[in-house]
Amino acid sequence: MDKDMRIAKAEVFVHSPGRNFVTLRITTEGGLVGYGDATVNGRELSVASYLRDHLAPMLIGRDAHNIEDTWQYFYRGSYWRRGPITMTAIAAIDMALWDIKAKAANMPLYQLLGGKSREGCLAYGHASGREISEILDSVREHMEKGYRAIRVQSAIPGLNSVYGVAASANAAAGAGKGKGASSARYDYEPARRSAVPVEEEWDTRAYLNYIPKVFEAVRNEFGPELPLLHDAHHRLTPIQAARLGKSLEPYDLFWIEDVTPAENTDAFRLIRQHTTTPLAVGEIFNTIFDYKDLFEEQLIDYVRSPVSHGGGITPLKKIFDYAAVYQIKSGVHGPTDVSPIGHAASLHLGMAIHNYGISEYMQHSPDTNDVFQPEYTFTDGMIRPGSSPGLGVTYDDKLASQFEYEAAYLPVNRLKIDGTMHDW
Ligand code: KDG
Ligand code: MG
């Protein structure tokens, strides 16, 4: 083993610059430093403990070059396989080791993954609004910011708040305002800073009746060319999802996402029989086995796993290659709860694979960017990596330590009619 590549330190940071993030920093004896994103929204401390208390001690003395072996050691060796906490912890190690390897090679990471397959990675932003005029303004604002593909979410008449809809029109653009400005900063942020989750209400019938009207208005205003996406956040049964897909066909969506909880593959067989609207799934998947049947039966069109929740660069590259056999493309999750390290890792992989589709790109707050200093840029609707070796992201732990972790949770969802807990 090259002594300089021996892992000397693995440190875990949990701070809240703009929102909560869990960050892993691995340092080799030769002084190379690699970063990994270990953030699981609303369960941050569990991943931090898994890494700090269990995996970090096993990393010391390992050869940082042996990425595949290290991944298999933690995946196969743990006995307790899979699951979001385990796989995010392993993903953070994997990302950090790829960062180190690319720095040792003096190359931006995409070069080690096969080099560039494209000039940049097409990204979509989130437009939303409480009424149709606000949605149209929000789409326009996103186009002015350069987005060339736009996800559209809408409040539903009769429901007091709906997840994914900005509480004020200017919040939809995504930028935060700085330390302490938590309400202004967070009204578009998926997690709210509270000790227990906020409860929202849901009415599927009202949703299914209203959403086609929203897309009709958006198409009438912006014409047929703009790629439009929509996220149903797992709220529908299979037959309701089939109806949604069918009713949106006239508006030619790029995809509908998470139309039904995906643990039951049979649901997608049913949906597929009824609609040609493309389907995206997987932001809560964490291994290739979650995708296997959906790929082999060609039941979905886009893979949503980001590097941080999909187990790392090593397994996600395999998932994308497997997807390519069925002409299924990448469409990775890129919300603000994926840190700039996670975004950069997904970006480098997206630059290299052939079957790239699109990425979600929610922009981080200035506080987040000050701490992570990402080198990637967003221009002309595309995210583009920089040219420095590795992932092109760093972590200012001194600055980060000024932003203490604060409990924050995604909202939960109950049926309006009788308060029954409902699916995400
Ligand atoms: O942490 C979960 C959120 O990032 C997620 O709910 C957002 O569905 C989402 C999306 O597509 O960005
Ligand atoms: Mg989603």
Residue nearest to atom 6 of ligand 1 (CA): 190
Nearest to 308 by CA among 345, 359, 261, 348: 345
Residue 182: predicted pLDDT? 35
Report whether residue 331 contacts ligand 1, using a CB cutoff of 6 Å: no
- Which tens digit of pLDDT belongs to each residue from 294-342? 999 999 999 999 999 999 999 999 999 999 999 999 999 999 999 999 9
List of residues 6+ apart from 171 with CB closer than 8 A: 184, 187, 188
Work out the pLDDT band at 174, boundaries 50, 70, 90: very low
Residue 216: predicted pLDDT? 98
Q: Which atom of ligand 1 is nearest to the CA of 190?
A: 3
Is residue 356 pLDDT above 50, yes or no? Answer: yes
Residue with tokens 């307790």: 80
Work out the pLDDT band at 192, boundaries 50, 70, 90: confident
Q: Which among 43, 162, 332, 333 is the best mutation to test ligand 1's pocket, defined by most ligand atoms within 8 Å of the CB?
A: 333
Is residue 58 pLDDT above 70, yes or no? Answer: yes
Q: Which atom of ligand 1 is nearest to the CA of 334?
A: 12
Residue 187: predicted pLDDT? 45
Q: Which atom of ligand 1 is nearest to the CA of 336?
A: 4
Residue 171: predicted pLDDT? 46
Mean predicted confidence (pLDDT) in 170-188: 39
List of residues 6+ apart from 187 with CB closer than 8 A: 166, 167, 168, 171
Mean predicted confidence (pLDDT) in 188-215: 88
- Which tens digit of pLDDT belongs to each residue from 91-115? 999 999 999 999 999 999 999 999 9
Q: Measured between alpha carbons, how far is 160 from 130 in angstroms, rounded to an integer? A: 10
Among 15, 126, 142, 233, which one carries the catalytic annotation? Answer: 233
Q: Measured between alpha carbons, how far is 213 from 211 in angstroms, rounded to an integer? A: 5
The whole model's pTM is what? 0.95
Residue 263: predicted pLDDT? 87
Q: How far is the CA of 114 from the centre of ligand 1 (A)?
A: 29
Concerning whether 233 is annotated as a catalytic residue, the answer is yes
Residue nearest to atom 7 of ligand 1 (CA): 335
Is residue 179 pLDDT above 50, yes or no? Answer: no
Q: Which among 229, 283, 363 is the best mutation to test ligand 1's pocket, defined by most ligand atoms within 8 Å of the CB?
A: 283
Report whether residue 128 contacts ligand 1, using a CB cutoff of 6 Å: no
Q: How far is the CA of 190 from the centre of ligand 1 (A)?
A: 7
Query: Are the C-beta atoms of residues 174 and 361 closer than 8 Å to each other?
Result: no
Q: How far is the CA of 392 from the centre of ligand 1 (A)?
A: 24
DSSP state of 5: G
Concerning whether 75 is annotated as a catalytic residue, the answer is no
- Which tens digit of pLDDT belongs to each residue from 359-393? 999 999 999 999 999 999 999 999 999 999 999 99
